[in-house]
Amino acid sequence: MHTRKVERPFKEELEKLVWEKPTTQIAKDFGVSGKAIEKWCKGYEIDKPLRGYWMKKDRPAPANNS
């Protein structure tokens, strides 16, 4: 019997986390790789933000020079 080295979060928790912070940060928090987070999401059938979502979200809005 194989036991997990890291406890996987419940689906609801992971679903919330992937929209709160980048996969790389979630991976650091759990001590796993980003690929592990991707596999967890795939296993739970959770949609993740598309590539570039966090860069766009963190970028300040353009100034309105009207």
Residue 57 lies in a domain: no
User: Are the C-beta atoms of residues 30 and 9 closer than 8 Å to each other?
Assistant: yes
Per-residue pLDDT of 16-52, as tens digits, reads: 999 999 999 999 999 999 999 999 999 999 999 988 8
Number of domains in the chain: 1
Predicted local confidence at residue 66, as pLDDT: 57
Residue 45 lies in a domain: yes
* Number of CB atoms found within 10 A of residue 43's CB: 11
Residue 20 lies in a domain: yes
Residue 17 lies in a domain: yes
Residue 43 lies in a domain: yes
Note the pTM of the prediction, 2 decimals.
0.77
Predicted local confidence at residue 55, as pLDDT: 83
CA distances from 8 to 28, 41, 46 (A): 13, 10, 14
Provide the residue range defining the domain that includes 15.
11-49
Measured CA to CA, the distance from residue 7 to residue 55 in angstroms comes to: 29
Residue 62 lies in a domain: no
Residue 37 lies in a domain: yes
Residue 41 lies in a domain: yes
